[in-house]
Amino acid sequence: MDARTLDLINLELDGRLDAAGQAELDAALADDPAARARREQLRAVARKLADAPAPALPLDFRDSVLRRLPQRVNRRLRAPRFWRGGLALAASVVAAVIVLRVVQHGPALSPDQLGATLAPATATVTPAPRPGGLSLNFTLPQAPADLVIDLPGEGPLTAFGEQGAAPIVEGRRIVVVAAGGSFAVHVSGDIDGFSANLVRGEAVTPVTVRVP
């Protein structure tokens, strides 16, 4: 049996043989018992693969995937190193609340005054009020990270993203798995302030709030 015949047998097995190829194979098989035997062996391989049982999917598979979505981010946030950056986080919370009030109720502090209170960072967010909530326009460095937005207060929140953002809402926390770039997260609910942090591994970096 030559290599061409073996190729034709494989192509036939994969349903890729056209009429001319099939005629060529049939002619080759008619004159070659070894080729006929090989075709049967390869068909048997395909049957065995198809018939080999696989274990059943775990019943809770989907739930276990969905449960891991927020947990993975929360676990990082609960890491001890996170609390070493607690002061920076607290500062960003306070700043965000102040900035939000400026946005919603008019400037009480100048942008310079606000900027002086914020931790330096390359990641920025520009908040803007929207009916029933808040729009957060982010510009993040080009690097994979989890963007964690915390909104103090009570009551349910809903969120949707733009420009590729897919926010996941968990109580008063919103998580966006981000790769960097610019995108918007629109939040609805009872909102009185927010903080935003980038979480990469165990490193937490506050996102700088910019006044529009």
Partner 1 sequence: MVEEEADEALVTRCRNGDGGGFATLVGRYERVIFNLAYRMLGDPDAARDVAQAAFLKALENLHRFDSRFRFYSWLYRIAMNEALDVIGHRGRQRELTDVHLADDDPARDAQTADLGERVRGALGALTPDHRAVLVLRHYQDLSYEEIGRVLELPDATVKSRLFEARERLRVRLADPAGEH
- Considering only residues 7 to 46 of the shown chain, the ones binding partner 1 according to CB under 8 A are 7, 10, 13-14, 16, 40-46
DSSP code per residue over 89-140:
HHHHHHHHHHHHHHHHH--SS-HHHHHHTSPP-S-EEEEEEETTEEEEEEEE
| Closest CB to partner 1 among residues 46, 128 | 46
DSSP state of 85: T
**Residue 58 touching partner 1 (CB under 8 A):** yes
99: helix, strand or coil: helix
Number of residues counted as binding partner 1 (CB under 8 A): 45
**Residue 72 touching partner 1 (CB under 8 A):** yes
Question: If 0-12 CB within 10 Å is exposed, 13-18 middle and 19+ buried, where does residue 11 land?
Answer: middle
**Residue 49 touching partner 1 (CB under 8 A):** yes
173-178: strand order across its sheet: 168-170, 173-178, 145-150, 195-200, 203-206
**Residue 1 touching partner 1 (CB under 8 A):** no
Binding mask 84-123 for partner 1 (x = CB under 8 A): ----------------------------------------
Binding mask 127-146 for partner 1 (x = CB under 8 A): -----------------x--
Pick one of 48, 78, 105, 120: the residue that binds partner 1 (CB under 8 A): 48
Helix %, strand %, coil % of the chain (to 5): 40, 25, 30
Beta-strand pair 208-209/124-130: parallel
Pick one of 61, 116, 153, 202: the residue that binds partner 1 (CB under 8 A): 61
What is the residue whose two structure tokens read 């500062």?
91
| Closest CB to partner 1 among residues 71, 113 | 71
Rounded-to-integer distance, Cα 135 and Cα 192, Å:
13
DSSP state of 59: T
| Closest CB to partner 1 among residues 14, 154 | 14
Pick one of 23, 27, 34, 69: the residue that binds partner 1 (CB under 8 A): 69
Contact residues toward partner 1 (CB under 8 A) are: 6-7, 10, 13-14, 16, 40-55, 57-58, 61-62, 64-66, 68-69, 72, 144, 159-161, 164-169, 177, 179, 185
